[in-house]
Amino acid sequence: MPSDPSPNARDPASVAARAGDAWYTDAAEYWESVPATVDGMLGGFGSLTAPDVACSKRFIDEFVNGKKDAAGNVVVPPRIGRDLACDCGAGIGRVSKYFLLDIFAKVDLVEQNAKFLEEAKGAFLGGEWKGRVEKFLPVGLQSFVPEEGRYDLIWCQWVLSHLSDEDLVAFLQRCKKGVKSNGLIGVKENVTSSGADIDSDDSSVTRSDAILKGLFEQAGLRIVKQDLQTGFPQGLYAVQIPCEPMNFETGAEITLILRVIAMKYFV
């Protein structure tokens, strides 16, 4: 969907703060109007699922299968287990079905929209995927508190733009506690070339690479990898995927970062 081109829409923290609770209730109302389909989850770009998933799988491969040399020999062992991932802002479970459940044994779905969760519980994640979702958690990320040490990977894709700066930092700090000692936090988000763009339709903020990295730093995260999404049409935002925090109290690494191409048109 087009972004609000207003030249004053450049300070996501102040915009969200001024809006208060309405920032989140307006977003919830917007998503209530969206159909519980793959096209709905991707703003009419359902065909992007294949390149989206392919890029995410390539990105995460070295962390779950180990880093390999040119001959295909594993030179660095896998970093994380493949037991349980958390799909944040899961919608109907598109990312889980086509990406996470191809790698991890089970997932938890975090999604505040009841309609989307019902679709995930029913037809969309039925059949061969039935029983592979451990928990359906009906909560927004601004309120989500992961169980400590539960996840191998917490994956956040095209959802952190709905959080204010303050809530985003707090959410990432909670995620640091929610992953296992060697776990990762994956972030796949749209980025602007500079500043931030506010979309008043769905209460979202598309931040620049520099702003996102500043927020990751505030949360105590360290980027260990980033990449750029390929295979998307021209004229879409660049998408960044960051995934890795540093626990400064213990010195233990916790999370990770990736970079991709995004969903919203430039205006």
- CA-CA-CA-CA torsion sign (199, 225, 112, 215): negative
pLDDT tens for residues 21-74?
788 998 999 899 999 999 999 988 888 899 999 999 999 999 999 999 999 899
**What number of CA atoms fall less than 13 Å from residue 73's CA on the CB side?**
2
- Residue 120 belongs to what H/E stretch? none
| pLDDT band with cut points at 50, 70 and 90 for residue 260 | very low
> Residue 95: pLDDT above 90?
yes
List, for residues 208-225, the tens digit of each pLDDT value.
989 999 999 999 998 888
Name residues whose C-beta falls within 8 Å of residue 248's C-beta, 6 or more positions apart in sequence: 220
∠ at Cα 147 (204, 117), nearest 5°? Answer: 50
What is the per-residue pLDDT across 167-226, written as a single tens digit (0 to 9) for each?
999 999 999 999 999 999 999 998 888 888 898 888 899 999 899 999 999 999 988 888
Q: Give the CB-side neighbour count of residue 176, counting CA atoms within 13 A.
A: 24
The answer, yes or no, to whether residue 76 has pLDDT greater than 50, is yes
Rg (Cα) of the chain, in Å, rounded?
A: 17
Which position has the higher pLDDT, 78 or 256?
A: 78
CA atoms within 13 A on the CB side of 51: 15
Q: Name which residue leads in pLDDT, 267 or 88.
A: 88
Backbone angles phi, psi at 239, to 5 degrees: -120, 130
112-155 pLDDT tens trace: 999 999 999 999 999 889 899 999 999 999 999 999 999 999 99
Lowest mean pLDDT among 1-5, 58-62, 81-85: 1-5
Please report where in the chains the tokens 């400064």 appear, as a residue. Answer: 248
Average pLDDT, the chain: 83
Q: What is the pTM of this model?
A: 0.85
What pLDDT is attached to residue 110?
Answer: 98
**Alpha helix ranges (H) inside 33-103:** 38-41, 49-65, 94-98
What's the burial of 53, exposed, middle or buried (CB within 10 Å: 0-12/13-18/19+)?
middle
